[in-house]
Each structure stands twice: as structure tokens, then as C-alpha cells.
Structure 1
Amino acid sequence: MVQHIVFGAGLIGSYLGAIMQLQGLSVTLIGRQNMLDKLKDGITLTDYHQHRQQVRMTGLYDIYRSPNAILPTADFLWLTVKCTGIQHALIDIQLLVTPQTVILCCQNGLGSDQQVKQAFPNNAVLRVMVPFNVVQFENGHFHRGSEGALTIEHDESTIANELQALLACELLPVRCDSDMHNLLWAKLQLNLGNAVNAIADIPVKAMLRQRNFRRVIATMMEELLAVVRAQDIKLPRITAVSADKLPMILRLPDWLFVLVANKMLAIDPDVRTSMWWDLHQHKQTEIDYLNGEIVKWGVKLAIPTPVNSAVVQWIKAIESEDMVQGVSGQDMLVRLNIG
């Protein structure tokens, strides 16, 4: 039987692994024991469309606590650790990978797949975009709180189509796309708001309802668009609004934004970003792979990116506990010198 291994039992990894189990696939979920303990009595999957399923995972392993455990090798290895955990994971997955293993990189941001390709140059490595948020309400209950389809990179093989057929269900829309480079840049544009959400320390929906926070995000997006134009990248549309129009929409007055951008607000009121969760749990964030990528490319292309640069430093100050989360939209505008 084809063996799937999900390496990284976080929010996305646990949700994805449970979907595979629900779909009748042979799947092993590998993670830290403190998370696995929350899953051993069963997993509840829900989404903002009110779908609900119960599933019991049969393959849960903590290779850090049981390094001598005999695990199957992977036909498909879904790497769901954060960008900051890639280097360590590349060591840990050595015994799980064969020359035939397809490795699927499910990270936010840009660049982490290159590290995987360097470590496993002879394996097929496909990128996966996860556009939706997953939150954990209680032990074993994972909730998809926003729209978007899991998107698998379509190469010259039929792998992506086969995986789409296996995984797609009510709780997990799945699609394929051959233009993953540009698609991930488009996703990065949306992810620039993660840092604002983490700094503001409020749910995403509440953040988006406040124009001052949206003005910060719009300014960062404009810096990204300048970098993108310099590289002649054409951003595909992944929201109801085209990439170049998003900053204008975000700057609308609150009453008009609610009317025009109702789909952007079609998220559960409790959803927060993964960066908020990282700071809340005193973990290193993925800021270097998100806003930091804009700063890096800005330097290469001699394009100013002052707001993204300041936000990167702000997040790092919170990581080092030199600053704390929680600031108003007006204060954020002032601190970032946005007029």
C-alpha cells in the first residue's frame, strides 16, 4: 500500500494527516510527544462551512523520544514543519526517504524548498501552498477557519493529479498548479499581514475590520509589488481582487471595505495567524521567509522596503522579549512612519 508520512504534527500537519486517515490512506504522523498526546484519543476536524468529521489516527510517532522505532519509508513525505525547522528536519527524515520518495514542501514563504532539493537532489520535490488557517480549539480538535484550496505543484508527471484525487473532500479542497513560483509570490503578498496580526495581538477578522491595520498591510504589499515588477513576475489572482488592486481595497474606509471585500472577511472570528501562535508560544517565527524575503530582494534590486524592514525588526524584538505584543492600529502607523 502506498505510504504517506506527514513530518511535523503542528496545526497544518495534524489536519492534513487526519484528512489522509479519513480518506483511507496509509499515513504516519510524526511529531513531538506533547502534540501527539493530544491526538491519541482521536481527532475532530471541522471547518467554517460547518463540516465535521471524527477520525482516529493509527500511526503516531515521536522519533525524538523513540529514535530506534522502526518506521516505514515514505512513498510521499509531506514536510509540514515551519521554515525555521527545515534544516533540523532534513537530518531527521534521512531514514524515511528512498530514491523513489516524493517530498512535498508545505511551508509558508519562499526558499525553503531549495534547501530540501539540495539535501535530496535525486528525489522529486514538489511545493505545496496552504492558503487557509487552521486553529486548535481543544485537544484533538482542528478547525479550518478560512477559504482556499491546498495547491500542489504540477510538474511533468501525473503525481499532483493523483494526489488531488486522493485527498480532495469537503474538509479539504485540493487543486494543482504548474505556476508555483508566481503563485507563491502571490501567497506571500497575502502572508505579509501575518506580522501585523502577531504584533496587534487580535484575531485576523478584527484586524481586517480596522483601516489603520489595513493601511500598514497595504504599504507592505506595495513594497512587494515593486519587487515583483522588477523581476517581471506576473502574480496570479488568488483572491477575488487582483494583486495590484489589493492595496487600494485595503485602504478603503471601514464601512466601504466591509461592503466591497466581504470575501476577505469570510473567516471565523477566532482565527489568528501562525506567526501569532509562534509568538504566543515563545517560538521563533518565519518572519525571515515572509517579510524578510521582501527586504532581501529589495536590497538585491536596490528597491526601498522600509516598512517590511521595520516590521521584521519589530517581530524579532518581540521574539527576544525586548518588546511585547499588543498595539493599536494608530500606534502602528506612527511607529512605522506611515502618513
Structure 2
Amino acid sequence: MRSHVIFGAGLIGSFIGGILTSLHKNTQLVCRPSIKQKLNNGLTLTDYLGNTIQIKELDFLTLENITQNGSEDFCDFLWITVKCTGIDQVSKEIKPLVGPNTIILCCQNGLGSDRVLQQYYPTNTILRVMIPFNVTEIKPGHLHRGSEGTLCIETPKQRLELVTSLVTLLNTSIMPTSQTTEMQALLWAKLQLNLGNSINALADIPVKAMLEQRNYRLIIAVLMKELLQVTKALQIKLPKLTALPAQYIPVVLSLPNSLFNLVGNKMLTIDPTVRTSMWWDLSQGKKTEIDYLNGAILEAALQVNIECPANKKIISLIKQMEQTNSNARVNIGSGTLLKEIQNAV
């Protein structure tokens, strides 16, 4: 019987896998050969606060050596750390690992990926995981948590003791961990913060440099205001994920640079090299998670008859970029992008 399997271990998955391994938990990583090669000599985990963990050796599992029969191949906890776009395929591949008591943890951005897994495994407990921080690769074998935030695991009443035990284990200085019974509201709050992902991908510059330009912040603020209209209509109360309540974040983002640098200085407490996962997807010519982020807002807006033209425009721009050769990409200037959004609205 396996304990923890991290399926689709990239940056986030390898970071979680490294934490579990450092805590002496039986942990195996399923990842691409290129990732395995980078981690063959061990893993160093660091964060922006100066914490460091060294893992001498990781345990890997390949699809080829997952036995089709026998309960010994089932795992207690199966962490799904692929992008939303890969969930359907992964749902089929994980079947040999899923026993009747396997807990499946969904670690995706946006909304909706858990529904796909629930269709494949209707009798298993599926827990959503909210990961607010950013992980970057400093060099092969060195992963760095570059921003603040607490990983949060969904906690249904019937699994309270089990999840509490897991959270207590994982709650370390390098990866703060908590739990919630209100995951849907929390994911909407996280989605609000993720609305900068698409802008970062279009701007083609680091997140900190993007936030230092008011025009980019104004665009993110417009996207957030549309989301807040939708959540209000759905009667979803967003919890605080930052020092500011959800409704005040667009206000602070809209401030002139001089005031933003004072009031919103915590938003700039981020490594200057950090870029969002959507930027990485576009830079590697991959399909993005835009349908699970901005697209989720449009889907919910239809239920309450609300128009979200800014989010609709951003989806269109990202999908255009998905069709563009990553080597031929040029960044969209803040003024140009703001004008496009204003025209759409």
C-alpha cells in the first residue's frame, strides 16, 4: 500500500512531494522524464523568507510500473498536480492507484476540475486544495516558493479527523497549511487573485514589474470588479486571502503609483523573477487554463444574467496567443491592452 503519490509532479507537485519526503512520509512522484532527470540528485526547497530544506533522494513511479492488479498499488493519498487541461486524461491514468479508500486531492487553479474526477470516481473522497503561492525553478533540483500564502485543504465533516491530521503534518514554516469547510468561497477568492495570471501572460514580463505599472493594475481591477458582481449575485461571501478584503483589492490596484507603493506595498513583496503559470504555458506553446479561470466567471455569470465583457475580451486575447508560435510572441504594452479592455467594456 502506497502512502502519498504526487501525480503530475511539476513545480508545485515536486514542492509538495519534497515536503512530504522531508517529513519521512512514504512519497512517490509521477512526472515527466525531463522532471525526473532534474531531480535525480535530490531536491533543494527554499522560500522568500529564507527557509531551506535539503532532500537527498526522491522516489519516482512511472506509468509503466504501476501494476494493474492488486491492492498493494493503491495509495492512501493521491495528489493530482497537473493543470486543469490535463485532468480528463489523468483521470484515466490514475485508475490503478485508486482503491476504495483512496483520498484524491485536486490541486488545480480555477473552478471545475474536481467535477471531472468525481465523474470517474464517484465513491471516493475528493478534496479540493487551494495553493496561493508561486513556485519557481532556480536551477535543476532547486525549487523556490517566491510568494506568500497558506495551502488550504477542503475538510468535509466526515473526514475531519483525517484532514486535520494531514494539515498538522504539513503545516511547516516553508509551506504553511490550513483547512476549511468553505472551499467553494475560498476558491472564488483565489480566482480573484488569479485574474492577474492572464495579464501577466499577455504582458510577458515578471509579475512584480507588471504590478508596478498602473495600466496593467487597472485592467486587473476591471476583471476583479466583474468577478465581484458575479459572486455578489450568487451570494458568495469571499474570505480574506490578503491583508485587504476582496472588495477593496480593485480599489487599491487602481491607485496612482505613488499611493499604490504605500498602500499596496505587500502586493509587491514578491521575487522580481516570478511569472505566472499561464505565462509559462504560453511560453512553452501549451494550452492555458483560461477556461477554468476567466472562463469560470463567464459560466457563472450566465446563471445570474450578468455581462462580463472585460473577462470575455481577455479570454479572446489569450486564445489568440495560444495559436501564436511562442518564439514569435511580443508583449502587449500596458497602454495598448488597457485601451482594448476599455473599448470592450
Q: TM-score with structure 2 length normalisation?
A: 0.94
Match of 1:320 in 2: 323
On the 8 A contact 2:7/2:29 being kept in 1, the answer is: yes
Equivalent residues in 2 for 1:196-207, closer than 5 Å: 196-207=199-210
Match of 2:146 in 1: 145
On the 8 A contact 1:33/1:62 being kept in 2, the answer is: no
How much identity, in percent, do the aligned residues show? 48
The CA deviation at 1:255 is 1.1
The CA deviation at 1:249 is 0.6
On the 8 A contact 1:198/1:325 being kept in 2, the answer is: no
Match of 1:52 in 2: 52
The CA deviation at 1:72 is 3.2
Whether 1:103 and 2:104 are equivalent positions in the alignment is yes
The CA deviation at 1:300 is 2.8
Equivalent residues in 2 for 1:1-150, closer than 5 Å: 3-63=3-63, 72-150=73-151
The CA deviation at 1:334 is 1.2
Cα deviation, 1:96-148, whole Å, max 9, x if unaligned, reads 01000001111000011111111111111111000000001111111000000
The CA deviation at 1:61 is 2.4
Match of 1:336 in 2: 341
On the 8 A contact 1:203/1:272 being kept in 2, the answer is: yes
Match of 1:218 in 2: 221
On the 8 A contact 2:5/2:27 being kept in 1, the answer is: yes
Distance 1:54 1:146 in 2: 20
Equivalent residues in 2 for 1:245-324, closer than 5 Å: 245-321=248-324, 324=329
- Structure 2 counterpart of 1:161, from 164, 177, 183: 164
Distance 2:248 2:300 in 1: 22
On the 8 A contact 1:36/1:61 being kept in 2, the answer is: no
On the 8 A contact 1:40/1:56 being kept in 2, the answer is: no
Residue 154 to residue 69, structure 1, CA distance change in 2 (3 Å) = closer
On the 8 A contact 2:75/2:102 being kept in 1, the answer is: yes
Distance 2:10 2:57 in 1: 14
Give the aligned CA root-mean-square deviation in angstroms.
1.7
On the 8 A contact 1:127/1:180 being kept in 2, the answer is: yes
On the 8 A contact 1:9/1:36 being kept in 2, the answer is: no
On the 8 A contact 1:212/1:329 being kept in 2, the answer is: yes
Distance 1:131 1:16 in 2: 13
Cα deviation, 1:216-235, whole Å, max 9, x if unaligned, reads 00000011011111111111
Higher helix residue share: 2
Q: Which 5+ residue runs of structure 1 have no aligned equivalent?
A: none
